Amino acid sequence: MKKSFLTLAISASMILAANAQDDTKISWKVQNDTLFISGNTISGSAFDEGKKRSTLNFASWGINSSEWDGTLGQLSFMTTESPLVISEGVTTISDGAFGGFAIVSASIPNSVVSIGKGAFFDCENLVIVNLPCCIKVIEPYTFYGCESLEAINVDETNEKFCSIDGVLYSKDLTALILVPNAKNGSVRIPENVAEISNYAVYNCALTDFYVSWKNPPIATDNIFGSSKSKCKIEKLHIPAGTKNTYKQAGWTKYFKKLIEEKNG
C-alpha cells in the first residue's frame, strides 16, 4: 500500500529534536534535500515523542495541522528524491525506525551494530543501501516492501555479512539473506549456501535464478511468497538430472520454467 507524503520546503538551519521511549535524544536536519540524523538509538517512536503540534509552526510550512498523524513519514521532511545520511555515533536502528519513509538511499555509519525488524519497511523509493563494517545483527523483514531496492552493498571488512552483485549473504556464504526486489537479470547462488532466509526471494524482478544443489532445500511461501505472482522469476536453472528432486522439494510452484544445465 503506497503512502502519501507532504513535500516541505525546510531551511537548512532547521533542526528538530525528539526523545525516544528510551530517553535517547535524536536530532535531525534537512540540508540540500538530504535528511541527516544523529543520536544513539533510533527507535520506531524516535520521531513521535516530544513532537506536539503546539511546538511546531505549521503555518510557516503551509500545512494544515489536522492532516498530520504525528509521524515523520507523514510530515515528510524528505522529498521523494532524498537520500538518508545517519551520523557516526548511532549504534542501533530499532524496529520500524524508518518504515514508509520517502528515501532513495541509506548511508549507515560504522558505529551501527544492529538493525531491527522492519527498520526500512515499505520504503518504496529506496534504491541502494550501504552497510558498514561493524553491523552484527540484521533482523528479519528489515527491507520488506522496498520495491525499488536494487542493491545492498556491504563493507568488505564486515565479519557477519557480505554482498555479491548487490545480493546479501552471510559472511561465510552459507545463508542467502536477501535478493533486492528490483534487482534485474540473473543471480547465481553460491554452492555453499544451505539456508534461505524468510522472504529472501520475495517479489523480486529477476529473470534467471541459478542454483547448484543436488539436494535442494525445501521451497516455501516464507521464502518466495504465497503465489507465483509474488515471485516474478521466469527460469530456475538447476543441475542436470535433478528436475524431479526440485519438483518434490516444491520449487516448481514459484518458477515458470525449470532448466537443467548440462554442466550443472
Per-residue pLDDT of the chain (264 residues; tens, 9 = 90+): 333 232 222 222 222 223 333 334 555 555 555 555 555 555 444 444 333 332 333 333 333 434 434 333 334 444 445 777 777 888 888 777 777 777 888 888 898 898 988 888 888 889 999 999 999 999 888 998 899 999 999 999 999 999 999 999 999 999 999 999 999 999 999 999 999 998 899 888 899 999 999 999 999 988 988 665 566 688 999 999 999 999 999 998 889 899 999 864
- Tell me how crowded residue 29 is: count the other CB atoms within 10 A of its CB: 18
- The answer on 143 and 194 residing in a single domain is no
- Regarding pTM above 0.85, the answer is no
Are residues 20 and 145 located together in one domain of the fold? yes
Same domain as 134, residue 245? no
Q: What is the distance between the alpha carbons of residues 77 and 82, in angstroms, rounded to a whole number?
A: 9
How would you class 97 by CB atoms within 10 Å of its CB: exposed for 0-12, middle for 13-18, buried for 19 or more?
buried
Identify whether 173 is part of a domain.
no
Please tell me whether residues 1 and 90 are part of one structural domain.
Answer: yes
Task: Return the pLDDT at 97.
Answer: 77
Instruction: With respect to residue 29, please indicate whether it lies within any of the assigned structural domains.
Output: yes
Q: What is the pLDDT of residue 96?
A: 78
Q: Do the domain assignments include residue 178?
A: no
Q: Domain span at residue 201?
A: 184-264
Whether 176 maps to a domain, the answer reads no
Residues 137 and 222 in one domain: no
**DSSP E strands, 34-132:** 34-38, 41-42, 82-86, 92-93, 103-107, 114-115, 128-131
Q: How far is it, in rounded angstroms, from Cα 30 to Cα 16? A: 10
d(CA 137, CA 34): 26
- Specify if 169 maps to a domain: no
Grid cell 504525528 is found at 70
> Are 242 and 132 in the same domain?
no
Model pLDDT, residue 47: 45
Residue 126, classed as helix, strand or coil, is: coil
Q: Are residues 5 and 76 in the same domain?
A: yes
pLDDT at 59: 37
Do residues 124 and 3 both lie within one domain? Answer: yes
